[in-house]
Every structure is written in C-alpha cells, then in structure tokens.
Chain A
Amino acid sequence: MRDSNQYLRFSLAGIYYLISGGVSVAIDQRDSLEINETGTGRVCAWRSHDGTRWPAYCFDRDFKVVQRNDWERAIFLEAQPTPVGLIADQVQLLPEGEAQVTPFTPLGRPATTAGHLFSGAWVRGPQAILVFDPKVLATFLHDLGA
C-alpha cells in the first residue's frame, strides 16, 4: 500500500521527518513568535492568535524537551483547546507524489498514551525517513502542557 499525499519534510535536531501536509494549521517563522526568554518551563515559544497562545515545543534528537535558540520555524497542528506546535529547523513542502510512504509500525509498546508516534516511512535506499502520525503527535504535544 502506498500513500501519495503531499508531505511536509522538516528537520528536528538534524534528523529529517515527514508529516502529512494537510494537518498543519500554521507554519510560522521564529520572528513572528513570542520566544520563551526565561529558559525555564517546557514551552519554547508561543503563537498569539485571537487572544489565545499556542505553545510550541522544542526537542532534541531523543525527543526530550529542550530549550534552544538556534531554530527557524514552528509547525502548529490541530489540537484542543488550541493548536500545539513543534519547533523545526527546516520545513519544506514536498511536491505531491514525491514521497512514497509505506506503513510502518515501530516494535515494542507505543511511546505515548495515544499510540505510536510514527505510522509510516519513506524508504529511499538504505535510508528510512519516518512519518509522524499527526493525531498521536498532536496528543503528545498537548500532553506536555497538561
């Protein structure tokens, strides 16, 4: 089974990932966000929208929440009560059909209460670029602020 939807490719701590292009609510540059200057807490930046603040989280290679300043963009995903964001270094919308994504289920117990973070992979020779499950990722991000 193949999925030829359009995907966002982004790098996170030097590793490329994909997420379905249709699930992002907004992609913002760093300049348009309110940065957490205190260096404390889990939120890295906020997006202000109609009187609400959407939190964005920054991760290291192991997906641990970190605070760092050398990032470029945030990708916001639909969640309740407000969208939640993921800090990314480079974001690129791939042309439709470029990424040939096949289903992928990680081994072991799901890493989050909502399930496995990844549901697919784009295999290019010996390299596998993992594809986030958008609902699981949004739930995971949301739970960080709970």
Chain B
Amino acid sequence: MAQTDEPHETAHDDLHPHAPMVEEITDFEVLEIAVRELAIEKGLFTADDHRRFTEFAEEIGPTAGARLVARAWLDPEFKRLALEDAIAASREVGVDWLEPTGFGTPSDFTALQVLEDTPKLHHVVVCTLCSCYPRPILGNSPEWYRTPNYRRRIVRWPRQVLGEFGLHVPEDVEIRVEDSNQKHRFMVLPVRPAGTDGWSEDDLAEIVTRDCMIGVALPKPGVTTNAVTAVRPAIRPAEHQ
C-alpha cells in the first residue's frame, strides 16, 4: 500500500477488509424512495406515520434491558416479576411493549421471556430462521446476529462459537441455546459477577452490555463494551438524516 498522510488508514483498512463497492446512488436507495412514495400516494400510510415510527426506532436501545438486569440483581421481588411477567417488568424500566402502534411493533410481538442464568446454566439466544430479537428492550440486533454463519453454527456447535466471542464455558456448566423462532422474544439475565458488592443500580447497568443479554458475553467489573466492536461503516449512514 502507498504511503499516505492519513495515519489511521492502514489500521482502518485492516479492520474493514471489504471496502464499500459502490458510492453512486445505489439500486436499494432508488427502490426505497420509489416504494415509499407510492405507498404514501396510494394511502397505505402517511409520511407522518413513517416519521413517527422512525422516531421510535431511533430511540430504542439496550439501556432499558441493562436496567432490567441490574434491578433484578438488586431486588428479589423485581427479579420474580421479570421471570414471571417480563412485559410488566419492562414497563418498570420504561418499555411499553404495546408502543408505538397500540399493539406493539409488528415484527417483535408482545411476548418477552427472561432467561435466568445460574452458576451451572448459561443461556445464549439465536433466531435460526431470520433475526427475531427483542428490539423494544434491546434496540436493533447487531449485524453478526443476523448472519447465516452465527445462525447455522450456534445451535450445533455452541461452545465453539461462544469461544470465538471469547467466552469459554466450563464443562460443568450446561449451555442452553434458545432458538427464538416464533412470537416469544428472549433476553438473558446473567449471573451477577463477583466484585460488584455494594454497587448501585447505575453502576451495575454499566457492565450489562447487549452481548451479555444475548448470551455471547458475561458481565465483568470494568468491562462496559461489547465482545464484538469492529464496525463496518455505511456509505450514507442513517444518523445523517
């Protein structure tokens, strides 16, 4: 590679071996505009419907889920509620699963189950058929979760795949893979890690990353980032809207 003035360019290319192939207006961008215009012109939905749902989609993220986990660690009553009626427990951390339509998001449904890990049981979630994921409480799924590779392998070789995320589960711990294939959505309630005695709910929520709630990582004092951090950049990212 030729020398450049950009000091980060080499590292950048190593992280993102597949540089974007196209920078013109893509076929997807053209088709998306055509479909949206026609749907509005035919009265299927309004531009305001689209704007309202976009605002909802931009607001959701994993912090509510992390809050639920932290509170369950601190409050046995709340933990019981989370395990018995996760939809009700979600409301306590600010997530109303009936939003934004009055019957929930069309693709996520309104049935959540919290999977409780123990020192002898570790859960990990996948959807082998598409990408079913508890968006209202965890936000949109990470790219790797939707890949055929993760979906093919985690149900058959879970210990190997978890090892690729840096999570090595001891042999005396049962792995339970949850293949989220119908209307239930699932999130993992990990075991509260050692070294967190006396921590506040805010402190605890900091170490409950999205990857911990999918089950490909364990919470650890001092670790507040996901197991997977490499990001492939967009050509024209949604944030610029």
- The yes or no verdict on A and B being binding partners is no
